[in-house]
Amino acid sequence: MRLIVGLGNPGGKYARHRHNVGFMAVDAIAAAHGFGPWRKKFSGEVAEGRIGGEKVLLLKPMTYMNESGRSVGEAVRFHKIAPEDIIVIHDELDLAPGRIRVKTGGGHAGHNGLRSIIAHIGPDFHRLRIGIGHPGEKARVHGHVLSDFGVAERKWLEPLLEAIARHAGLLVAGRFSDFGSRVMMDAPPPEKD
């Protein structure tokens, strides 16, 4: 079984925030692959299904970002899921908007959701990092991540989420390089101004 975790904050007021792009991605995967309904479990919401013949559990922690690890830890312990079978999808300040990278292990780079997950299960899981860009000054980071995607950003966001969902089979199979190439081919990042 693979566990794919989308990070975000619960509640309608956060739904379109940049920080919630992980929730958006797992919602797109669930819809594209005909997953069952979302159910409350593991201090979060889960949906089960199959991608490329592999059983997959999607998880959206409902603990708020800073406590994401509590939810992930519950699911990991219950299903006895190994770190190499876990993919966490999250926003990434240090990537240009619309770019993605898959990384295995490492630190949290100041991301509170990752910090919490590492505290609960260790650092050796995979991360799908979705670039939201940096606002330029550290003092503006909080407002940037906790603001809705702008109209111009939605022009690249929707195709990107669709491409991530379409090629999720490569992600689940661990073919991260192929996944990244296909997604970027289908949903190229916006041109820099």
> What residue numbers bound the domain in which 43 lies?
2-186
Residue listed under structure tokens 């296909």:
182
Report the alpha-carbon distance of residue 123 to residue 118 in Å, rounded.
Answer: 5
Per-residue confidence in pLDDT tens, the chain, 193 aa: 999 999 999 999 999 999 999 999 999 999 999 999 999 999 999 999 999 999 999 999 999 999 999 999 999 999 999 999 999 999 999 999 999 999 999 999 999 999 999 999 999 999 999 999 999 999 999 999 999 999 999 999 999 999 999 999 999 999 999 999 999 999 999 887 5
| 33 belongs to a structural domain | yes
In a domain, 172, yes or no: yes
Residue 7 CB coordination number (10 Å): 29
Q: Answer whether residue 125 is part of any domain.
A: yes
Say how many domains are in the chain.
Answer: 1
pLDDT attached to residue 193: 57
In terms of phi and psi (left: phi > 0; alpha: psi -120 to 50; beta: otherwise), the region of 169 is alpha
Q: Tokens 């995967």 correspond to what residue?
A: 29
The alpha-carbon radius of gyration of the chain (Å, integer) is: 15
How would you classify the pairing of strands 54-61 and 39-41? Answer: unpaired
The residue behind tokens 């860009």 is 133
User: In this structure, which amino acid lies at residue 3?
Assistant: L
Whether residue 19 lies in the annotated active site: yes
Residue 52 in any domain: the answer is yes
Domain at 146, CATH number: 3.40.50.1470
Helix, strand, coil content of the chain in percent (nearest 5): 45, 25, 35
Looking at the domain assignment, is residue 193 inside a domain? no
Active-site residue (options: 17, 19, 144, 167): 19
Give the count of beta carbons closer than 10 Å to the beta carbon of residue 118. Answer: 20
In a domain, 46, yes or no: yes
Residue 192 lies in a domain: no
Residue 113 belongs to a domain: yes
